């Protein structure tokens, strides 16, 4: 599933292609993804110029010069592909559901095999109040995110910190992978109660979240470059993780005796896999 860094990398791939261009044509090959497309979707978009390609949490936001905003979620397995002007666009396959044709000839294709993706429309003036966006917490890579802000959002929560971090109302866009990775960096046990996070741990956690997301965006950026020279596909990258997906291994920063400790532990919290080092994370 794309997490914030993947969506941000897609945004950075789309921005130079879409910004300043008119959307000349929208092709929908079905009437819905996770939800039906809004009524008049094509009509409201066709002929409009894309001002900016922004992002909020895991939503891409295409701000149009008409005041409309396309709110676009990539779902679990959505992929975005850019075909430059003059490049042959292959015949659509079964899961190629949406196409944006742009002035000057580029085509953006959205492929979503599991159809957990979503496209909706909002108004720029009232975007914060849109049902999909209004309850989302602070954006982790903005200056609205700080230790006091995080601590306030965790206070009184009786759930484990790992689960709290995955709640978009606490912080935007931190999913399963980066919650495990950030807790590892901050040396905090994923099982610790969210309410027990004091100022010191909150500060460590804020630094860890920003650090882990920024590193992943940098990694995505380099992958993006490679991808664009080959087939233009955006969306998935193999990052190197410290604990995620590495049960039984020694974690990078500590002197775990794996034979004795069993190394990185894999537990299930709220139905999702968590990875952590019991020796380093308290
Ligand atoms: Zn360790």
Q: Are strands 50-56 and 107-111 parallel, antiparallel or unpaired?
A: unpaired
What's the confidence (pLDDT) of residue 257? 83
Q: Are 164 and 152 in contact, with CB atoms under 8 Å apart?
A: no
Concerning whether 2 is annotated as a catalytic residue, the answer is: yes
Could you write out the DSSP letters of every residue in 204-259?
HHHHHHHHHHHHHHHHHHHHHHHHHHHT-EES------SSTT-TTSPPTTS---HH
Q: Which long-range contacts (CB under 8 A, 24 or more apart) does 240-248 make?
A: 241/177, 241/180, 241/181, 242/181, 242/184, 242/185, 243/180, 243/181, 243/184, 243/275, 243/276, 243/277, 244/177, 244/180, 244/181, 244/275, 245/275, 246/275, 247/275
Mean pLDDT of 48-55: 98
Q: Is the pLDDT reported for residue 229 higher than 50? A: no
Q: Is the pLDDT reported for residue 275 higher than 50? A: yes
What's the confidence (pLDDT) of residue 228? 43
Concerning whether 58 is annotated as a catalytic residue, the answer is: yes
What's the confidence (pLDDT) of residue 231? 41
pTM of the complete model: 0.88
Taking every pair of Cα atoms in the chain, the longest distance, rounded to a whole number of angstroms, is: 65
What's the confidence (pLDDT) of residue 236? 44
89-114 pLDDT, tens digit per residue, is: 999 999 999 999 999 999 999 998 88
Concerning whether 272 is annotated as a catalytic residue, the answer is: yes
Name the H helices within the chain: 4-18, 41-45, 147-154, 161-165, 176-186, 199-230, 258-261
Q: Is the pLDDT reported for residue 82 higher than 80? A: yes
Q: What is the residue-averaged pLDDT of the chain?
A: 90
Contacts of residue 91, Cβ cutoff 8 Å, sequence gap at least 6: none
Distance 206 CA to ligand 1 centre (A): 21
Mean pLDDT of 213-224: 74
Which is catalytic among the residues 3, 6, 99, 181?
A: 3
Q: Considering the domain 147-276, what is its CATH architecture?
A: Orthogonal Bundle (1.10)
Contacts of residue 129, Cβ cutoff 8 Å, sequence gap at least 6: none
Per-residue pLDDT band for 77 (boundaries 50, 70, 90) equals confident
Distance 139 CA to ligand 1 centre (A): 30
What's the confidence (pLDDT) of residue 218? 81
Distance 158 CA to ligand 1 centre (A): 26
Per-residue pLDDT band for 5 (boundaries 50, 70, 90) equals confident
Q: Is the pLDDT reported for residue 24 higher than 80? A: yes
Cα dist from 75 to 7, 110, 137, whole Å: 10, 11, 19
Distance 26 CA to ligand 1 centre (A): 50
What's the confidence (pLDDT) of residue 230? 34
What's the confidence (pLDDT) of residue 232? 45
CA distance 186 to 281: 8
DSSP 8-state secondary structure symbol assigned to residue 87: S
CA 219 to chain centroid, in Å, comes to 14
Per-residue pLDDT band for 150 (boundaries 50, 70, 90) equals very high
Mean pLDDT of 165-171: 96
Q: Are 13 and 96 in contact, with CB atoms under 8 Å apart?
A: no
Q: Are 172 and 199 in contact, with CB atoms under 8 Å apart?
A: no
Cα dist from 27 to 10, 24, 43, 97, 193, whole Å: 20, 10, 11, 8, 48
235-274 pLDDT, tens digit per residue, is: 444 567 899 989 999 988 777 788 888 899 999 999 999 9
Which is catalytic among the residues 58, 81, 185, 279?
A: 58
Q: Considering the domain 4-129, what is its CATH architecture?
A: Alpha-Beta Barrel (3.20)
Distance 238 CA to ligand 1 centre (A): 22
Mean pLDDT of 158-183: 95
Q: Are 77 and 114 in contact, with CB atoms under 8 Å apart?
A: yes
Mean pLDDT of 60-76: 96
Distance 181 CA to ligand 1 centre (A): 13
Percent pLDDT > 90 in the chain is: 73
Distance 190 CA to ligand 1 centre (A): 14
| Extents of the domains making up the chain | 4-129, 147-276
Which is catalytic among the residues 12, 22, 49, 272?
A: 272
Orientation of helix 199-230 relative to helix 147-154, angle to 10°: 110
Percent pLDDT > 70 in the chain is: 93
């Amino acid at each position: 599933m794309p997490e914030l860094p993947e969506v941000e990398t897609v945004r950075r791939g789309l921005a130079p292609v879409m910004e300043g261009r008119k959307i000349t044509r929208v092709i929908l090959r079905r009437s819905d993804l996770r939800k039906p497309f809004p009524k008049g979707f094509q009509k409201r978009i066709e002929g409009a110029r894309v001002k900016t390609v922004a992002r909020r949490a895991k939503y891409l936001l295409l701000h149009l010069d008409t005041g409309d905003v396309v709110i676009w979620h990539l779902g679990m397995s959505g992929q975005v592909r850019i075909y430059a002007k003059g490049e042959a666009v292959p015949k659509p396959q079964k899961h190629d559901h949406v196409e944006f044709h742009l002035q000057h000839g580029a085509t953006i294709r959205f492929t979503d095999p599991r159809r957990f993706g979503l496209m909706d429309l909002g108004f720029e003036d009232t975007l914060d109040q849109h049902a999909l966006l209004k309850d989302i917490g602070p954006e982790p890579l903005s200056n609205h995110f700080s230790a006091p802000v995080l601590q306030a959002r965790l206070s009184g929560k009786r759930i484990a910190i790992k689960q709290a971090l995955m709640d978009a109302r606490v912080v935007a866009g931190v999913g399963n992978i980066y919650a495990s990775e950030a807790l590892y960096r901050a040396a905090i046990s994923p099982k610790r109660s969210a309410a027990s996070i004091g100022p010191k741990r909150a500060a460590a956690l804020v630094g860890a979240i920003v650090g882990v997301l920024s590193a992943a965006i940098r990694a995505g950026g380099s992958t993006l470059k490679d991808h664009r020279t080959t087939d233009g596909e955006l969306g998935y990258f193999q990052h190197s993780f410290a604990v995620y997906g590495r049960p039984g291994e020694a974690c990078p920063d500590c002197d775990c005796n794996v034979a004795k400790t069993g190394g990185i532990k894999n537990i299930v919290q709220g139905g999702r896999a968590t990875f952590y080092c019991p020796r380093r994370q308290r």
